[in-house]
Structure 1
Amino acid sequence: MNDIPKLVKSNQEQAIASWVNYLNQLRIDDLLSSFSQQDENLLNAFTSIDEAIRKIDLEVVTANRGGQHGMHGFIAEIAEVGISNARQQILGQESDYQWVNNNGPVDLLRSGVEIQQKFVAAGFSLGALTEHLKKYPDFVQNGGKYQIPADHFEVIKKLYSMPPEEAGKLLSRSSDGPSFKDWQRIEAFFQEGSIAIEALEPSTLNYHEVQRGVYESTMAAEETSLLSTDQSLRDNAFQESLPNLKEGATVTLAAAVIEGGTAFVLAVVAKRREGKLFREFSEQDWLDIAGETGFSFVKGGVRGLSIYALTNFTATSAAAASSIVTAAFGIAEQANKLRHGEIDELEFIENSELVALEAAVSALSSFAGQALIPVPVLGAVIGNTVGTIMYRAVASALSKREADLIERYFGEQRLLDEQLTAEYQELIEKLDQGMSDYLGLLERAFSPDVQVALIGSVELARALDVPVDEILDSDEKVHAYFLD
């Protein structure tokens, strides 16, 4: 069957288009899935913040837990849990903080790690750590961690690493910042050796952020920060969903290999159909095969890149994009034949029309096949095969007489269309003229000039076929109508 090579090429072209469409759809699906997941992440994060606020309000502030001097410590524990979990959840990770709330040696649990939190203004919370370690001497040895305000930790870390000479020169002796005395206190604390600096860690919060009357603004600021993080994650997901050079290069190379490979197989099959065995292929035969393969390799690359660009940067479906590229190649081939005198201008037009028609049939068939068989590539190939075979069967089944009948029918329809167009235009002109006359009558009938209005009213009544005896067109009729 002579149409088999054309059908194979057509299927290969639509298969590439369907594959590109599948890649594009994967990126879109991933983006929508990412947005949906991020909606859930944001909801979970805000829920953690809301639960923390509710616990602080009801279990700490309303209950006056800890009193005036100790309330902020409980606020800090609950806020640490709510904020830390929210920051994990906004990233789609599991929450790992738990509030122990039993007034024991452990305030918080983080993925199994025991944490004692101390928020004390005096001595950067170090004195409170010493008191806790006296009561629970095995706390650090058992893997426990001490958590202090973030601003306290920064000062401790800075002073801990500062040599004595530098501390004596740089540290202020005023109340505006850490003093040399603070350095001495921190130095003495760690020289004692009960607690190493590695046992300390910073809270997510500063000391002043968990005070009564302040924690509301702290939690509100955290919600704003979560929204900013959420938007950044969505922006990143969107950027990752955009077409990119790497994927475009992959499509280009794959399309080139597929089309080149198809051309190689078809060229070899064509030679075999001539009756030649593989061992009988001459050097020229292999040169012909290589030339056809190389040309198709280039065409495939151009096709893949063009389809990828059309489907991603214009509102064009993959099947339509493939048909556009196929039609462009076909018409370019006909143009080349015209330049070399192989066909005349009429044949060029007719062949180009046929190329465009076949490309359109291929696109429509692939689109329908993909809709009926929603399997990537397979649906497009099956649809293209069925549609192309049906088109060729119908085209070849028409005899000259049937084609002449269709042509005559088209001619009659053309004449009828011209006749109806002329009649339609004539009716429109009559309607325009009648409307113009009617509007003129209305203008005179409702003129501010009484005399003109009277005459206009009579003309309007006559135009509307009002009976003559009912038209007030004389003084006698007017008097009789109003006075009798």
Structure 2
Amino acid sequence: MSTNVWKDQITAAGVDGFNQWKSLSIAKQLDQIVKEKLDNQQQQNINFETALKHMLKMRQFLSEPKNILGSEQTKHGEVAEHLEVNVRNAWAALKGQSEVATFDGVARTAPEDFILDGIKYQSKFINGSNNTLKHILDHYGKYQDSSMNYSIPKDQYKVIEAIRSGQNPSNLNDKSIRAILQKVEEIERQTGRSFQEIVKPSVSNYSEAQLGTAGETVSKHQDQIVDENQKIQDEIQKDAREKTKSIEAKKGPSIGEGVKVAGTAAAIAASLNTITVIYTKVKNGKKIQDFDKDDWKEIGISSAGAGAKGGVTAGSIYALTNITSLSAPFAGAVTSAAMGLSSLLTDLNRDQISMDEFVTQGQILCIEAGIAATGGAIGQMLIPIPVLGSVIGTVTANFVWGFAKDKLGTREQELKKMLDTYTESILVKVDKAYQDIISKINTKYAHYNSLIEAAFDVHANSAVLAAASVNIAVELGVHEQKILKNDADLDAFFLG
């Protein structure tokens, strides 16, 4: 048996498996990005349509001026209220939010004009900032409702705030400025609230709410909504491009990935070296069951050195350990051993190796499974070092027999006799407690072996093989949702 070839096969399988896993993972992530982008675009289209519906409601309101409260000179008051509600709701809808303003539950002649963010509002659209403030004071004096806010023209609010900050407008004289400041102070005194808290700017200027200009005002707000919607759609596209670029960058190697690979590869290289050292000792004439404390110590030290080297060069093994979903080291080791024994069995049938070489090399192949079995995967018993070699030797011999039986024809009895003699020579060295351990391991192995034989039986039909593959996948710990059980699962996997 060529140990290097065996290592190379595992490394090649690791590299290929990792590449497939990585490509599939990246493809899935890219698909998810596309799906999220389409979902976000669709949702934004819905948001945009909802926003436009609010603007349409505003146009419908303006289309019947006779139904608007007030005279031709005062109808702008109710126009301002509807602009406030519909425009604010349109912007909220564009951002995927629910309505923020409503007339529901508000009578047309009630003290409040609309509800915004759960707060009652009275709209005051009067010509001139000083006159607007006077109407606020009159309204508050009449209703004394300290929970109510007031909405005033946006341009008037800016003027008042400028005056309060000492930046007096050039178009106002000192008398008008003093009057405005006095009314602001009076509002704060009577309500017990700050001016900014009780008085809020509208979405419209005073002139924009007039009947003659309201249509243009709606168009202006609608154009702003259209522009903002395009910005949001562009941002969705940009976000998807950036995510795609980030994912595609992962196609190449990375330092972080390399560090992970190297760390795991070191451990696996040590494991492979353990098998190599054991193989060398066996080839030199020492039986596994005769290994003493010094032998096991040597195996450990040598493997540690090999692990350090393997961490540098055998990075592909890391991927192999990540894409396999084995439930326990033992299950994976048995599967690996079965694959190696197939090759040995072919060499034996071609007379390229002797029966003795088949047994010896077969045991070496099964060492990993034997160590996994005795290391705690089954029973978790503590086995003393002097007995460890005997237990592993017996387990590996039984692994070889379990795989080779019914596959050697006339030479089967020769193999059975050889292995029986070997096993009996070992069992006389261990007491009943450890024979029980061996029995338990063999029982577990027999279970896995039967699953493996069924899954790789070339003479079985496709339905039987499929069922057997499902069974072994379950035993190896593959997540239930990842197992393809029928044609429907297969179609769903490949067609998305």
* Shorter-chain TM-score range: 0.5 to 0.7
The 5-angstrom pairing of residues 240-279 of structure 1 reads: 240-243=239-242, 252=254, 255-257=257-259, 259-260=261-262, 263-276=265-278, 279=297
- Structure 2 unmatched ranges of 5 or more: 279-294, 320-478, 485-496
The 5-angstrom pairing of residues 403-418 of structure 1 reads: none
Q: For 2:24 and 2:299, how far apart are their aligned partners in 1?
A: 36
1:221 aligns with 2:223: no
Residues 54-97 of structure 1, C-alpha deviations (whole Å, 9 max, x = no match): 12323xx1325211121001111111111001111111111110
Tell me, yes or no, if the aligned pair for 1:153 and 1:201 is still in contact at 8 Å.
yes
Tell me, yes or no, if the aligned pair for 2:152 and 2:199 is still in contact at 8 Å.
yes
C-alpha RMSD of the superposition: 3.6
1:280 aligns with 2:312: no
Tell me how far 1:300 sits from its aligned partner. 8.8
- The SS at the match of 1:116 is strand
Residues 348-386 of structure 1, C-alpha deviations (whole Å, 9 max, x = no match): xxxxxxxxxxxxxxxxxxxxxxxxxxx9x9689xxxxxx
Identity level (%): 20
- Structure 1 residues 243 and 69, CA gap change in structure 2 (3 angstroms): closer
Q: Which residue of 2 aligns with 1:67?
A: 71
Q: For 2:150 and 2:248, how far apart are their aligned partners in 1?
A: 53
- Structure 1 residues 206 and 212, CA gap change in structure 2 (3 angstroms): same
- The SS at the match of 1:69 is coil
Q: Which residue of 1 aligns with 2:233?
A: 234
Tell me how far 1:295 sits from its aligned partner. 3.2
- Which residue identity does 1:37 align to in structure 2? Q
Q: Which residue of 1 aligns with 2:94?
A: 90
- Which residue identity does 2:143 align to in structure 1? Y
Tell me, yes or no, if the aligned pair for 1:257 and 1:300 is still in contact at 8 Å.
no
Tell me, yes or no, if the aligned pair for 2:100 and 2:116 is still in contact at 8 Å.
yes
Tell me how far 1:144 sits from its aligned partner. 1.3
- Which residue identity does 1:72 align to in structure 2? H
- The SS at the match of 1:92 is coil
- Structure 1 residues 283 and 219, CA gap change in structure 2 (3 angstroms): same
Q: Which residue of 2 aligns with 1:79?
A: 83
- Structure 1 residues 191 and 80, CA gap change in structure 2 (3 angstroms): closer
- Structure 1 residues 203 and 261, CA gap change in structure 2 (3 angstroms): same
Tell me how far 1:297 sits from its aligned partner. 4.6
- Structure 1 residues 19 and 227, CA gap change in structure 2 (3 angstroms): same
1:187 aligns with 2:181: yes
Choose which of 87, 96, 109 in structure 2 pairs with 1:103: 109
- Which residue identity does 1:68 align to in structure 2? E
- Structure 1 residues 124 and 29, CA gap change in structure 2 (3 angstroms): farther
Q: Which residue of 1 aligns with 2:44?
A: 38
- Which residue identity does 1:204 align to in structure 2? V
Q: Which residue of 2 aligns with 1:48?
A: 54
- The SS at the match of 1:102 is coil
Q: For 2:297 and 2:482, how far apart are their aligned partners in 1?
A: 36
Tell me, yes or no, if the aligned pair for 1:150 and 1:204 is still in contact at 8 Å.
yes
Q: Which residue of 1 aligns with 2:140?
A: 133
Higher Cα Rg, which structure: 1
The 5-angstrom pairing of residues 455-466 of structure 1 reads: none
Q: For 2:66 and 2:256, how far apart are their aligned partners in 1?
A: 68
Tell me, yes or no, if the aligned pair for 1:160 and 1:183 is still in contact at 8 Å.
no
TM (normalized to structure 1)?
0.55
Tell me how far 1:227 sits from its aligned partner. 1.1
Q: For 1:296 and 1:4, how far apart are their aligned partners in 2?
A: 10
- Structure 1 residues 259 and 89, CA gap change in structure 2 (3 angstroms): same
Tell me, yes or no, if the aligned pair for 1:52 and 1:81 is still in contact at 8 Å.
no
Residues 7-38 of structure 1, C-alpha deviations (whole Å, 9 max, x = no match): 34322221122222222222222211110110
The 5-angstrom pairing of residues 319-330 of structure 1 reads: none
Residues 104-156 of structure 1, C-alpha deviations (whole Å, 9 max, x = no match): 1111101211111110003251121122112201x2x2x21111000010101
- Which ranges of 4 or more aligned residues in structure 1 deviate by more than 6 Å? 248-251, 298-301
- Structure 1 unmatched ranges of 5 or more: 302-374, 381-484
Q: For 2:296 and 2:101, how far apart are their aligned partners in 1?
A: 72
Q: Which residue of 2 aligns with 1:440?
A: none
- Structure 1 residues 92 and 125, CA gap change in structure 2 (3 angstroms): same
Q: Which residue of 1 aligns with 2:308?
A: 290
Aligned residues: 297
- The SS at the match of 2:22 is helix
Tell me, yes or no, if the aligned pair for 2:94 and 2:225 is still in contact at 8 Å.
yes
Tell me how far 1:274 sits from its aligned partner. 1.7
Q: For 2:273 and 2:218, how far apart are their aligned partners in 1?
A: 78
- Structure 1 residues 204 and 246, CA gap change in structure 2 (3 angstroms): same
- Structure 1 residues 23 and 280, CA gap change in structure 2 (3 angstroms): farther
Tell me, yes or no, if the aligned pair for 2:14 and 2:316 is still in contact at 8 Å.
no
Tell me, yes or no, if the aligned pair for 2:264 and 2:315 is still in contact at 8 Å.
no
Tell me how far 1:253 sits from its aligned partner. 5.2
Residues 262-312 of structure 1, C-alpha deviations (whole Å, 9 max, x = no match): 5335423321322548743466643443233223459999xxxxxxxxxxx
Q: For 2:257 and 2:296, how far apart are their aligned partners in 1?
A: 27
The 5-angstrom pairing of residues 432-443 of structure 1 reads: none
Q: Which residue of 2 aligns with 1:340?
A: none
- Which residue identity does 1:186 align to in structure 2? I
Tell me, yes or no, if the aligned pair for 1:107 and 1:116 is still in contact at 8 Å.
yes
Tell me, yes or no, if the aligned pair for 1:155 and 1:178 is still in contact at 8 Å.
no
- Structure 1 residues 299 and 274, CA gap change in structure 2 (3 angstroms): closer
Q: For 1:149 and 1:379, how far apart are their aligned partners in 2?
A: 65
Q: For 1:278 and 1:90, how far apart are their aligned partners in 2?
A: 72
